[in-house]
Amino acid sequence: MGQNAQTRWWTDARVGYIVIDNPPMNVLSDENRRGIREALDEFRRNGAGAVVLTGAGDRAFCGGADLKERDGMTDAQFDTQHYLFERMVRAIYDCPVPLIACVNGAAIAGGLELALACDFIVASQTARFGFSEVMRGIMPGGGGTQQLPRAIGVRRAKELIFTGDTFDAGQALAFGLLNHVCAPATLHEKTFAIVRRILANAPVAVRQAKKAVTFGMQMDLRTGLFFEIEAYSRLVGTEDRQEGIRAFNEKRPPRFTGK
């Protein structure tokens, strides 16, 4: 288990857990930014097969930057702090295994960007979302202007970014932003049930599939198809590929080793 003043992380049964713990709104401090990066580095070293990112309590997943902390900052200090945020978001993008956002409450501004950087989102019925940056004289700068249009469509994303309006979990599900919406009491159970299903599969195959989707979506279709075959071909010589076929023919669950 690792932790700093406002972030906790640990691994259990091949699942890496990260909790943003800066109540009441779990706003992002420099401690959080460093903690999330350190956690992902540790999970990469210890071979975690999936990662869950959530917030402490039931009020907020993450409320974005700490605006009280930013009051009176010089331009140079502001730029330095934002660079730490950029590094944290890139670490999430670069995570090689599935990373699921378990959104237990408000995901606003940088908090929504954190959730969007994950592979998909499972949210509580009480969650709410929005980009409030234009109300503060800035704009989303951690991938929000790129990820939200890709998730819900350009025109709807423009309206939400330009107005700063918030929207609830039901709207987010209808927009296509969320994979699942759960009652608060069942949120973690639902998230971990999905994670367990992922972990039952061949680890290398899951990583290669994530790579193919993530990078393929940044290419034209023909190039993406070639990239997919490259990712696929790396699985042919694995022991897990042979085990998957044996298990099917022997009518038993596979015993994957990640090799």
Q: What secondary structure does DSSP assign to 128-197, as a single string?
A: EEE--GGGGT----SSHHHHHHHHH-HHHHHHHHHH--EEEHHHHHHHT--SEEE-GGGHHHHHHHHHHH
Percent of the chain with pLDDT strictly greater than 90: 91
- State the average pLDDT over residues 142-156: 97
Using a 10 angstrom Cβ sphere, with 0-12 exposed, 13-18 middle and 19 or more buried, the burial of residue 252 is: exposed
Longest dimension (CA), the chain: 67
What residues pair up with 18 in beta bridges, in sequence order?
A: 9, 53
**Spatial CB neighbours of 86, under 8 Å, sequence gap ≥ 6:** 141, 142
When pLDDT is cut at 50, 70 and 90, the band that residue 2 belongs to is: confident
Global confidence as pTM = 0.94
pLDDT in tens, 33-65: 999 999 999 999 999 999 999 999 999 999 998
Active-site residues, by number, are: 65, 110, 113, 133
Domains in the chain (CATH in brackets) are: 2-199 (3.90.226.10), 203-249 (1.10.12.10)
Rounded CA-CA distance 250/72 in Å is 67
Task: In whole angstroms, give the CA distance from residue 247 to residue 174.
Answer: 39
From CA 113, how far away is CA 91, in angstroms rounded?
Answer: 13
As a whole number, mean pLDDT of residues 68-78 equals: 86
CA 127 to chain centre: 16
pLDDT confidence of 149, banded at 50, 70, 90?
A: very high
Instruction: Work out the pLDDT band at 4, boundaries 50, 70, 90.
Output: confident
Burial of 188 (0-12, 13-18, 19+ CB in 10 A): middle
Instruction: List Cβ neighbours of 157 (8 Å cut-off, separation of 6 or more).
Output: 145, 148, 149, 151
Name the token pair of 234: 């790396």
Residue 5 reports pLDDT greater than 90 = no
Please report the pLDDT score of residue 73 as a whole number.
85
